Structure 1
Amino acid sequence: MALTLYVDTARWRNHQHHVLQQFPGLVPVCKGNGYGFGHERLADEATRFGADVLAVGTVHEAARTKDYFGRDLMVLTPYQLTEEPVPLPTRVIRTVASVDGVNRLVGARVVIEVMSSMRRHGVSEEELPKLHSALQDVRFEGFAIHLPLEAVNAVEEVIAWMDRLRAARLPLHTLYVSHLTAAELGRLQQQFPQTRFRARIGTRLWLGDHEATEYRGTVLDVTAIAKGERYGYRQQKAAGDGHLVVVAGGTSHGVGLEAPKAMHGVMPRAKGVARAGLATVNRNLSPFLWQGKQRWFAEPPHMQVSILFLPDDVAPPTAGEELTAQLRHTTTTPDRIVDR
């Protein structure tokens, strides 16, 4: 009995094909938990559709993924001067965000990231002249710019950097970009035909068709409970008559874990306040649905299972049935993936 990720494989791959057509030269991204699919599965998919480069998040991910993907690997996290060495094959391309970093990676394949409006990391405009001598000792693969998800003037920001790099007389054969639309990328390619623009895409490629995937947790047990009876690890009292439903999927899978969200507008903020208020009295909605409604946790999820409370006016599921779960792919690790 398991928390399962079901994949409509034909539909999922059709979406991949559509994205690949929109973004010629696309570099697929496989980082973190592999967007819920795992590194091995996504490496296989990238191999299947002929990717020449697969981007991963860290050197440790590169060390694991090198056995699944036989072509070039690009590490997105920039090289750190103090990092401990990790054995990697020569086909690994390192991202570098400082001139000192370039100087340290003699003989390595490198992509140099410039500072975008993200203000996260990158080489500044003032440092560009120092790159001339540094580039002589590395295998330079191109520049990169990581843009915000909600960039106001994304194309203009890239154009400004192209002008700076050109003014500094640095090689502009390839620029790796993130978070641009196909139309924006096409505009840049038309304006700078001598530069190859390559989009690095993860979420849009693997998760862009929400109907292609579905999480489901198996119901393991169903127990009737009366108002006032105690239950669970913390021996809370049942608020009313009903049923406790034990379903596969707990904190080890990512159930109950949630990344902070940026809220815009009055209504989303009001809903956030309401959820926080309910949580203080141990009322938390689970990601599991039954009869079309999201159901409440009876108590905080356990490591591998969750316990839900269904009031007595709701007919409970039976053991062996599956409940659909609304889970975030990037924080969920299912027990198994089933293609259908």
Structure 2
Amino acid sequence: MSLSLYVDSARWRKHIDQVRDTHPGIVPVMKGNGYGFDNARLADEASRMAVDTIAVGTTYEAARLKDHFDGRVMVLTPYLRGEDAVPLPDRVIRTVSSVQGTRDLVGSRVVISCMTSMKRDGVTEEDLVALRGSLDGVRLEGFSVHLPLDHPDGTDPATEVVAWVERLRAARLPVHTMFVSHVSAAGLALLQQRFPDTVFRPRIGTDLWLGDHDALVARGTVLDVVPIARGERYGYRQRKAPADGHLLVVSGGTAHGVGLEAPKTVRGVMPRAKGVARAGLATVNRTLSPFSWAGKQRWFAEPPHMQVSLLFLAGDVQPPRPGEELDAELRHTTTHFDRVVLQ
């Protein structure tokens, strides 16, 4: 049986189309695990949306998706001199983040990344004069700015885009298209109004594919229900059961991403207190699983196995039957589902 992602396809596509319609020129982003859907499925969905360009993370992803999408494919990871050569069609656009990278890709379609407050990659203002002389022979598709998600200083994300458009114009560079990440529809409209000669194209991933949470439900299949008595040992580490109850063997383990978490930014007293409490429980081998039964999130009996998770259910709770499914709260960007069911 399986760890499944159930999708209310009509509702999901309604949301996708609303995002497309409120963000003219949208470039759907698909990378990694495809936000839990698989990149090939999202590329097919982009074709249904009738967009002309998609964005992927790496050249390897671009090679895998070239047969699923007929339009332009932008690779977000910047070109690196000496990287593995991956055969790609001419319609693939490479991101470059340096003057040298631009010179290396003569004859190619390129988007030039500009350094923002993300401090991740991109050309700087000091590079612009040299950049102007390196554009001969490349097919410039535009410039790009990748902005932070949070702005604790209260600044408007669009202000960074404005600053870059003005710098590029002052350097007499052709700013016909700007690809932007993490700017609202309202911010994009203001940018377009201020710079009518530049086309602003939003690159959107999470808000596009995962923006309607209620259209998506993850569930793990109960594979077995094993009665266990207090003090009886179980599992890889042979822990003792804390009370009479049942062990639930559920589809979904570390190979799926269950039990794996990315580091989080925590702000505020209450979130920090909750984090300390979770850490304290973990030291005594008490960790909540993402799976729920009978209206409550259930505890891991031990750390998840590679393909399944072992949960402990107290004896006063009626257990599920093998073949039933448990709802699961999972992070879609780190979960590999066995199947995606479009309902």
Provide TM-score, normalisation by structure 1.
Answer: 0.99
Aligned to 1:36: 36
SS at match of 1:35: helix
1:181 to 181, 184, 193: 184
Aligned to 1:97: 97
Counterpart of 1:3, as a letter, is L
Counterpart of 1:227, as a letter, is R
CA distance in 1, matches of 2:204, 2:50: 15
Aligned to 1:88: 88
Q: 1:81: Cα distance to partner?
A: 1.4
CA distance in 2, matches of 1:150, 1:197: 21
Mapped pair 1:319 → 2:331: no
1:287-328 Cα deviation digits (max 9, x unpaired) = 000011110000111111101000111111111110000000
Mapped pair 1:299 → 2:317: no
SS at match of 2:86: coil
CA distance in 1, matches of 2:24, 2:147: 19
1:70-127 Cα deviation digits (max 9, x unpaired) = 2110000111113121111111000000000000011000000000010111000010
CA distance in 1, matches of 2:150, 2:278: 26
Counterpart of 1:287, as a letter, is P
Mapped pair 1:260 → 2:260: no
CA distance in 2, matches of 1:24, 1:213: 25
Hey, which bits of structure 1, 4+ residues long, moved more than 3 A? none
Q: 1:137: Cα distance to partner?
A: 1.5
Aligned to 2:203: 200
Mapped pair 1:237 → 2:232: no
| Structure 1 residues 131-150: aligned runs within 5 Å | 131-150=131-150
Mapped pair 1:125 → 2:128: no
Q: Mean Cα displacement is larger for which, 162-171 or 75-84?
A: 75-84
CA distance in 2, matches of 1:164, 1:337: 45
Identity %: 66
CA distance in 2, matches of 1:86, 1:197: 29
Aligned to 2:286: 283
SS at match of 1:161: helix
Counterpart of 1:276, as a letter, is A
SS at match of 2:33: coil
Counterpart of 1:133, as a letter, is G
SS at match of 1:5: strand
1:117-166 Cα deviation digits (max 9, x unpaired) = 10111000010011122111100000000000013331111111111001
2:334 to 322, 331, 340: 331
Mapped pair 1:155 → 2:146: no
Counterpart of 1:163, as a letter, is E
Aligned to 2:216: 213
Provide TM-score, normalisation by structure 2.
Answer: 0.98
1:222 to 219, 225, 228: 225
1:142-192 Cα deviation digits (max 9, x unpaired) = 000000001333111111111100100000110000001100000000000
The count of residues paired between Structure 1 and Structure 2 equals 340
SS at match of 1:42: helix
Q: Mean Cα displacement is larger for which, 207-216 or 62-71?
A: 62-71
Stretches of structure 1 lacking an aligned partner (at least 5 in a row): none
CA distance in 2, matches of 1:157, 1:133: 24
